[in-house]
Structure 1
Amino acid sequence: MKDLLVSCMLLILLTPVSRSFADESPFFRESVEPILRKHCYDCHSHSAGLMEGGLTLDWQSGWKTGGSRGPAIIPGQPEQSLLIKAVQHTDPDLQMPETKLSVQEIATLVRWVKQGAVDPRHTKPVSDTAKATDWWSLKPLERPDVPAIQTGNPIDAFIQARLKVEGISVSAAADRRTLIRRLTFDLHGLQPTLSEVEAFENDTAPDAYSRLVDRLLESPHYGERWARHWLDTVHFADSHGFEHDVFRPHAWRYRDYVIQQLNADIPWAQFIREQLAVDHFFPEKTDLMPALGFLGAGPYDRSAAATAPKSFEYLDRDDLVTQTMGAFASTTANCARCHTHKFDPITQADYFALQAVFAGIGKGDVSFDADREVAVQRTRWETLKTAAQTQKKEMLLQPENQKLVAEWEQTRPPQPRWETLQPDVFVSTFGAKLKR
């Protein structure tokens, strides 16, 4: 039995690798797929939204199933394959595309079919842009109609409508002690004090509950509580991670920015713009520069950055794409780094286009003015300084600058008075003298 096992192992080790995996898949990607994409996809692909004759050529199952005439390809038999007949224009009733392929392109397709038509495209592609935007996280927000149910809150109306459909009775209303505990834990992450509970229990005003909600939302503890969830989403940390795990002394500024903006209840679109490019969208709001900490919140492998910078840059951009798309679009875009996404409507080309957006981003500390007025004055003085150095008179002589320029000129020392030296005796190195 042992000898038989050894023989089997040797047989496995000595068996040559299957050509379909070793040779044909790269051959398809590099030589065959570009031909299909160039000449066939306009009429026979999901991306174009056209499937003439019911035939699709953008995935394996498409040509295997075929269209109205049957399978388009019979692996190993190019002479019997409709696709080969069509591109060769040998049948007057089957000549596609209208412009005949080059001899080399036809030969490539024939070779591919003859060698078994290996096609690694097993996943059905997304049909078109309209279908891609059907993905739940890519749909625009809509305000639904509130169910016609008598209740004090629209959210309760939706809940009660669904409970009614499911045949479930509504639970009894919570007492005030339970309500204030739920609200305080949800909004602050802390339990209410005894005095707060008693005050709410004794408040008989009709708007007691709404005033409690407003008070909790207006507290700085609200931002502190809910910022934690956002910081988890962007994998915020106070250090780089990896084996060196270098401390980030200024990372707290981004954390405080998130808390501040959640408490300010800024619009979601503004929250996105600030974190991706606050210096571009809001250059005058210099105090919001810590928002760019979003782009630097992830891990930073200093060792890889020094020893393998190219690989590091790709991996770092992958982290930026993953973080941005996950946080703002609820999609796992990083799957498309290696292949077109199997579930989300993201192609591999889309993924690397996203990477290119972040290609110019570096990581490091950035100086900024936390006081906007200081930033305005700094910009003004730096502009004037540059104008003085480059002698731009039109800038210096502007009405709003003339007084400043005049005051600056008064601080300058007087121009030196030059006098020509008139010696009476010239003495050389070796002592020779020359009198005037």
Structure 2
Amino acid sequence: MRKNFLFIASLFLLATVIQGCGENASGLTSETRLPDQVSYNFDIRPILSDKCLACHGPDANKREAGLRLDLAENAFAALQENPTAHALVAGKPELSQVFLRITTEDSTERMPPVDSNLKLTQQEIELIEKWITQGARYEKHWAFDPPVKPALPKVDDTDWPQNELDYFILQKQEQRGLAPNEEADKERLLKRLSLDILGLPPTLEMQNEFLADTRPDAYERMVDRLLKMPAYGEKMSLHWLDLARYADSHGYQDDGYRTQWPWRDWVIHAFNQNMSYKKFVTWQLAGDLLPDSNKEQLLATGFNRNHKITEEGGIINEEYRLLYVTDRNDMFGKGLLGVTLECAHCHDHKYDPFSQKEYYQMFAFFNNVKEVGRESVIGGPETYAKKPLMEISEEDTQNILSFINKPDTNRLIVSVMGDLDSTRKTHILKRGVYDALGDEVEPGTPSSILPFNKNYPKNRLGLAQWLFDKKNPLTARVYVNILWQEFFGKGIVKTSGDFGMQGDLPTHPALLDWLAVDFMEHGWDIKRLVKQMVTSATYRQSATVSKKKLAVDPENIYLARGPRYRIHAEYVKDLVLASSGLLNRSIGGPSVKPYQPDGLWEGATSGRGLLSVYKQDHGSKLYRRGMYTLIKRTVPPPVMGIFDASNRDLCEVKRLKTNTPLQALVMMNDPAVLEASRVLAANLLKEKSSVNEKLTNAFRLIICRKPSAKELNILTNYYEKQRSTITPEAAHKMLTVGEYPMTRNLDKVDQAALMRVISTIYNLEEAITKT
């Protein structure tokens, strides 16, 4: 009996191993297929990075045997310990010590060392052998070469692509024996599209109109319609607020209130006006330096001043001032260049070709701002006249700044950029310490990316010109990748803030380059880029996943199915408010303080300032979009945090995606969700319709599709059960949630029962998932 059990277990284990290897359509496993031409960037460097460069890489302090494998001149040189031998000999793996040491049977000689717990797979060994045989050619890091627009690849299924993007996607699928999904049904497509372009669910009217539109271009017409709506600017602004670390407080211990929200109004306005990405970024980097700059261009520079600023006494002013410059420099690197420039703050970058000197040359562009370490706007003009602050008057909001939603006549002051009349000297900071001054440096850029053009002015305006130089390899790639991430859930480069040596390789490098060049060729037109993505056949696919596709491509890297993931925290709130009819759709204006558990601010405060005590707002302010929720950096909004929103301490180009029980508890117990359920129940009960029609409309408003017969039957039975079990007293208690006025002359038991059903619909996974 024991032998039979072991035999069956062995068969099961064998089957599991075979399945884990992932057979493709041709019957070959991915481990057995080598590319015809081995690429250093895409095949070899990832192996070296994972298994070799810790001891044979750029970090001189950890380098073993004087051998460096990330640079060709070092790898081909004679070995220090054996001058007659070489790590690499082009075309001859049998003479290359790298190959000999990774294939030796002698465990004392084998690389990586046994005690490192690292081991090369057979496929990796064969790749290295083939690479050496083909000449061991090193390549410049892929991201530091300017993109070149490739020709569209040939595909077998020429009927499937809707636009150029699809050819690149389909080619990769066909290479791996995959085929795309069928197009999603119109209801799911509309929900996906509305959430992605507006951050809001489609209304019932939109659903009915789209379902009834049988014209061949109905989908494209809907895309164009959504792109023209004001909510588009709000949706597109959210990722930029994360990148620009926008918040409503200064940070640090006092964490006082700041009024940067007019800059947020400008960002929404810029997206709705379809300002080109080039102008959009140039104004934010250097609007104050443009010839004859106006107040709108100056307001745009608030982008650089969204960082944390202290208002506290007892600080060393220069230490904090340099922290602000560091923040701007690091944000520029991560958010606009997609590189970990901050790693060169204290020493030369250990992996990317950025020296500490180059870091401080970039630093110099942001080091001439007329600012001090401690900033306060309290008091009269004399307290801020010498600091880069801008006052917005009533006249401004009626003219050049008419897009600002200023609800009162209170003084409105925004932190912006403004340089000194003279040039402040910039030094390398030894070990990154603020008062350890090293050599003086001039403004400049990393030569590995693109040397700074001597014809550009050595200020932030010159830096913006360098950023949008056609030879700059990163600017367009980084932004199209961020937008791809917004619509498909992950970037073509998964590490969207790190295009450097340690970042992930692009899954579709040719597509990334095609998009980047096309974006530049068409005037950095953001709406055009958005439309390209959402009208592609790739985007329109059903999110249904087969067992085969899940086994072959569990992360949907090759996009053989539509994207499926939970929407951002702010859009969860927006969906609840919009579907219930509570949403206040006004654009822009000051941030608001909705429902929040008591005592959070009071338990984490210095006891000073306007934000020492949480004073909840009331009325229509409670029902504003999630992006307008006030963000206090030391105590960010708890519900937003539970759904992975940024606390805006630093530049963030990619949010985490977690799935925790706390999220389910929020949807079950948050007063905002319960209040929305109550209000929607009241609205539906006021309609002259049957129970089935009310439940169908509730389902469509929240889930954005018609319920199946089975789903409607379950909801109807649940409603009838609640009606029969809820007492009038219990109903009254349930209906008192939230501040929105109660609807009179409705049966409270009926309303409470329907409220329970609607709350249940909100708690379906599909409600807050893009499918």
Aligned runs of 1:172-183 on 2, under 5 Å? 172-183=182-193
AA aligned to 1:146 is: L
C-alpha separation between the residues in 2 aligned to 1:143 and 1:283? 37
Aligned to 2:227: 217
C-alpha separation between the residues in 2 aligned to 1:223 and 1:359? 32
Tell me the CA shift for residue 66 of structure 1: 7.9
- Residue 234 and residue 211 in structure 1: after superposition, are their counterparts in 2 closer, same or farther (change >3 A)? same
- Residue 280 and residue 135 in structure 1: after superposition, are their counterparts in 2 closer, same or farther (change >3 A)? farther
Tell me the CA shift for residue 361 of structure 1: 1.0
The answer as to whether partners of 1:254 and 1:291 remain within 8 angstroms in 2 is yes
Tell me the CA shift for residue 346 of structure 1: 1.4
C-alpha separation between the residues in 2 aligned to 1:258 and 1:166? 42
- Residue 236 and residue 67 in structure 1: after superposition, are their counterparts in 2 closer, same or farther (change >3 A)? farther
The answer as to whether partners of 1:241 and 1:299 remain within 8 angstroms in 2 is yes
C-alpha separation between the residues in 2 aligned to 1:303 and 1:66? 60
- Residue 52 and residue 354 in structure 1: after superposition, are their counterparts in 2 closer, same or farther (change >3 A)? closer
What is the TM-score when the length of structure 1 is the normalising length? Answer: 0.54
Aligned to 1:134: 141
The answer as to whether partners of 1:132 and 1:345 remain within 8 angstroms in 2 is no
Aligned runs of 1:7-18 on 2, under 5 Å? none
Tell me the CA shift for residue 68 of structure 1: 6.6
AA aligned to 1:263 is: N
Aligned runs of 1:33-72 on 2, under 5 Å? 64=80
C-alpha separation between the residues in 2 aligned to 1:161 and 1:171? 14
The answer as to whether partners of 2:194 and 2:201 remain within 8 angstroms in 1 is yes
Is 1:263 the equivalent of 2:263? no
Unaligned runs of 5+ in 1: 1-27, 30-44, 56-61, 71-130, 375-436
Tell me the CA shift for residue 52 of structure 1: 10
The match for 2:208 among 193, 198, 203 is: 198
Q: Residues 366-423 of structure 1: CA distance to partner in whole angstroms, max 9, x if unpaired?
A: 246564599xxxxxxxxxxxxxxxxxxxxxxxxxxxxxxxxxxxxxxxxxxxxxxxxx
AA aligned to 2:342 is: N
AA aligned to 2:252 is: F
Aligned to 1:143: 149
Aligned to 1:315: 323
- Residue 67 and residue 194 in structure 1: after superposition, are their counterparts in 2 closer, same or farther (change >3 A)? farther
- Residue 65 and residue 346 in structure 1: after superposition, are their counterparts in 2 closer, same or farther (change >3 A)? farther
The structure that has the greater radius of gyration is: 1
Tell me the CA shift for residue 256 of structure 1: 1.1
Q: Residues 187-233 of structure 1: CA distance to partner in whole angstroms, max 9, x if unpaired?
A: 11111011101101111111111111111111111110121111111
- Residue 153 and residue 279 in structure 1: after superposition, are their counterparts in 2 closer, same or farther (change >3 A)? same
The match for 2:311 among 286, 291, 302 is: 302
Tell me the CA shift for residue 301 of structure 1: 2.3
Question: Secondary structure of 1:346's match?
Answer: coil
Question: Secondary structure of 2:390's match?
Answer: coil
Greater relative contact order (Cα < 8 A, sep 6+): 2
C-alpha separation between the residues in 2 aligned to 1:50 and 1:277? 39
Question: Secondary structure of 1:302's match?
Answer: coil
Is 1:328 the equivalent of 2:336? yes
- Residue 366 and residue 202 in structure 1: after superposition, are their counterparts in 2 closer, same or farther (change >3 A)? same
Structural RMSD (CA)? 3.4
The answer as to whether partners of 1:240 and 1:248 remain within 8 angstroms in 2 is yes
AA aligned to 1:217 is: L
Question: Secondary structure of 1:303's match?
Answer: coil
Is 1:365 the equivalent of 2:373? no
The answer as to whether partners of 2:79 and 2:85 remain within 8 angstroms in 1 is no
Aligned runs of 1:34-433 on 2, under 5 Å? 64=80, 134-136=141-143, 138-148=144-154, 149-150=158-159, 151-249=161-259, 251-281=260-290, 283-303=292-312, 307-363=315-371, 364-367=388-391, 369=396, 371-372=399-400
Question: Secondary structure of 1:318's match?
Answer: helix
C-alpha separation between the residues in 2 aligned to 1:244 and 1:181? 42
AA aligned to 2:267 is: V
What is the TM-score when the length of structure 2 is the normalising length? Answer: 0.31
Higher mean C-alpha displacement, 258-267 vs 151-160: 151-160
The answer as to whether partners of 2:288 and 2:298 remain within 8 angstroms in 1 is yes
Q: Residues 230-281 of structure 1: CA distance to partner in whole angstroms, max 9, x if unpaired?
A: 11112110110111111112x0111111111112222222222111111223
- Residue 348 and residue 63 in structure 1: after superposition, are their counterparts in 2 closer, same or farther (change >3 A)? farther
Question: Secondary structure of 1:211's match?
Answer: helix
The answer as to whether partners of 1:53 and 1:67 remain within 8 angstroms in 2 is no
Higher mean C-alpha displacement, 198-207 vs 142-151: 142-151
C-alpha separation between the residues in 2 aligned to 1:178 and 1:294? 36
Q: Residues 303-327 of structure 1: CA distance to partner in whole angstroms, max 9, x if unpaired?
A: 37x5211211222211111111111
C-alpha separation between the residues in 2 aligned to 1:186 and 1:312? 39
The answer as to whether partners of 1:135 and 1:345 remain within 8 angstroms in 2 is no
Aligned to 1:381: none
Question: Secondary structure of 2:150's match?
Answer: coil
Unaligned runs of 5+ in 2: 1-59, 62-67, 87-137, 372-387, 403-771
Aligned to 1:24: none
